[in-house]
Chains A and B, each alone.
Chain A
Amino acid sequence: MSQDILVVVEHLDNVISDVTFELLGKGRELATATGGKLLAAVLTSSAQSLAEKLGVADQVIGVEDPQLQHFNPESYLTALSSVVEKKAPRLVLIANTSMGMDLGASLSVERNLPLVAYAADVEMEGDAAIVTSHLYGGKIYSESVLDADSGIVSILAGSFPAEPGKKDGTPELEILAAPPALSDTRLRFKSLIQPEAGDVDITQEDILVAVGRGIQSEDNLPLAEELAKALGGAVCSSRPIVDNKWLEKNRQVGKSGLKVKPRVYIALGISGAPEHIEGMKDAELIVAINTDETAPIFEHAHYGVTEDLFDIVPALTEKLK
């Protein structure tokens, strides 16, 4: 086994996802600690253009095949597995994203490597990697010991700054032969579907009033709308509100929704699951109202209120009118 840190580069439509740079920045730190190299695995149809953005890595390991132009759990696993077999890295860092979920856990079974998911931090302590995971919707943190020769860490987006991972310039690019099994997939990628443009763009709003399941019913939404109106802002929400079809998809903040950075974010009845936090933690001012004093949202808010939102919101709207 080597002491190298291997970061799996995530890309969509030929653009590298932000989370990859977060992982690369962290990977750089870890490689310094282990004394190994920082490797970036690029699985795609043509690696060169992506490799040019990966200047922070010591080496880019590419697997190229037309099958890899778009993510496919089977072909990507075959390709990644061949990289891991060849390079035997100390740690594989994968984003805990939609693609990363499919890839991380299947790599774990395929190569018989231990995996720690929901990771928000990784540090080397002697020979072991200590992985801090955010479990139970962010209510509990756990420290796992990854002391096997090699292991996989699936990292929540937004856990590390992206800047340290961003450096233009192409490191040494090594292209590995594409494994023949690559095109032997039972899942077939067909197309990418872009979301419809909606009535508002919440990523451009200065002030957002966000509602979560604590709003209880669609009939209570006007409470939030009035507050947003008094503030000159817009209403957005956590995922369940959109799944319930109470609001359109373009209002959803978080992992599978939008990433927002408003000046003010008021969270009403939102627990603060990691998937939600990912989308709003960079807001300049976060005020959270939640009846549960142990709600993880309070770890990220600047101001918190443990009262019933139905008591506070009308009073607040009145004051702001």
Chain B
Amino acid sequence: MVRADRFQRDEGVDTKPMNIVVPIKLVPDLVEELEINEDGTDIDREFLTYRINEFDDHALEEALQLKEKHGGSVTVLALESEETDKVLYTALAKGADRAVKVTGLPEGLSSHALARTMGQALSNIDYDLVLVGVQAADDRDGQLGVLLGKTLGIPHLSVVTDIAVEGNTLTLHKEYAGGIMAQFETEPKVVLGIQAARVIPRYAPVSRVRQLMKEAELDEVEASDIDLGSGTSVRRMYTPTRGEGAEMLEGDAEEIASRIADIINEKRS
């Protein structure tokens, strides 16, 4: 009996397959130059390229890893925008089972409003786990995962770097500074803010994404009566003054290398 039990556990057979939801946020590509809009209170969103928040990409990868190991399903959710379809089809191409597009909301939503929206969308989805990127580059009013956990009335843990499942119990690692980690245990349902997946997030072959764009359907749900407020307003957004920090070194590679060598040698002497 004991042996069989152990064997089963090692095989993960007695681990309950989990339905995992990954809310995805699209953020401006930080490699591009960001500009400020005319009234100086937001970035200029007109010509921006958006992409999946890099930490959400890790959350998706971790969700797919868990599914591949223990069964269950992965559902991705994102607000409608110009690039949403592509991001959602990419998630399907990577192995997500279902993609839901939430319509009817403006761009540049606050984290509080996004949490309310995702909370509403989740009320019609059967889930055990919500994995979300630990943060996004624009959450001025707090991180989505924590806000979502509170909105849903379920526990949340952020900066999670490791998830193990046995039976119905999740063992989680939360990272602190200096590489110190805290280990927690819990049972579903829970929202986890993922810092890094156990492996580098996979790529989806472009051909597969294209194929799915032709064949697969995205589900749509409309958000209704979402309170858009966050309790604070932005009076000014700006780019830090360039050149205030560093003295820029110019010239060809040889000249620059010589300058840096001189600067370092002077400091070392």
- Residues of A at the B interface (CB closer than 8 Å) are 12, 17, 70-74, 97-99, 101-102, 104-106, 108-110, 113-118, 130-131, 133, 135-146, 148, 151, 154, 185-195, 207, 231, 239, 243-244, 249-250, 252, 255-259, 263-264, 266, 271, 284-288, 292-294, 296, 298-307, 311-312, 315-316, 318-320
Contacts and interface: CB of A to CB of B under 8 A. Distances in A.
A166 to B, nearest CB: 18
A151 B231 contact: yes
B264 A264 contact: yes
Contacts of A250: 179
B146 A101 contact: yes
Contacts of B260: 266, 287, 303, 305, 312, 316, 319
Given A74-B155, A316-B260, A98 B174 contact: yes
A189 B231 contact: no
B122 interface: no
Contact of A256 (B155, B175, B200, B233): B175
Interface string B142-173: 11001101110011111100000000000101
A154 B139 CA distance: 11
Interface string B161-203: 0000000000101111111111111110010010110001000
Contacts of B216: none
B141 to A, nearest CB: 5
B187 A113 contact: no
Given A106-B150, A116-B140, A258 B178 contact: yes
Contacts of B150: 105-106, 109-110
Contacts of B253: 307, 311-312, 315
Given A101-B146, A293-B242, A303-B260, A113 B233 contact: no
Interface stretch (B1-9, B130-138, B217-225): B130-138
A315 B257 contact: yes
Interface of A, helix, strand, loop or mixed by DSSP: mixed
B149 A106 contact: yes
Given A136-B34, A136-B138, 6 more contacts: A104-B142, A109-B150, A189-B184, A243-B200, A286-B246, A298-B245
Interface of B, helix, strand, loop or mixed by DSSP: mixed
A144 B235 contact: yes
Contact of B112 (A98, A108, A258, A312): A108
A188 B257 contact: no
A154 B142 contact: yes
Given A101-B143, A136-B43, A319 B261 contact: yes
Contact of B234 (A97, A98, A142, A194): A142
Interface of B: 27-28, 30-31, 33-34, 36, 43, 111-112, 115, 134-135, 137-143, 146-147, 149-151, 154-159, 171, 173-187, 190, 193, 195-196, 200, 230-240, 242-249, 253-254, 256-261, 263-265, 267-268
Contacts of B115: 109
Given A141-B237, A312-B256, A315-B253, A195 B180 contact: yes
A276 to B, nearest CB: 13
Contact of A304 (B43, B141, B248): B248
Contacts of B180: 12, 192-195
B177 A114 contact: no
B245 to A, nearest CB: 4
A315 B263 contact: no
Given A141-B237, A319-B257, A118 B140 contact: yes
Counting from the closest, the 3 A-B pairs by CB-CB distance are: A114-B231, A195-B179, A304-B246
Nearest to A190: B183
A301 B245 contact: yes
A186 B187 contact: yes
Contact of A105 (B146, B185, B242, B261): B146
A142 B260 CA distance: 34
Nearest to A133: B140
Contacts of A102: 146, 156-158
Contacts of A144: 140, 232-235
A117 B43 CA distance: 17
Contact of B263 (A148, A285, A312): A285
A316 B262 CA distance: 10
Contacts of B234: 142-145
B61 to A, nearest CB: 11
Contact of B183 (A193, A207, A239, A255): A193
13 contacts: A98-B158, A105-B111, A114-B231, A115-B142, A115-B232, A136-B28, A143-B234, A154-B142, A186-B187, A305-B260, A306-B248, A311-B253, A316-B260
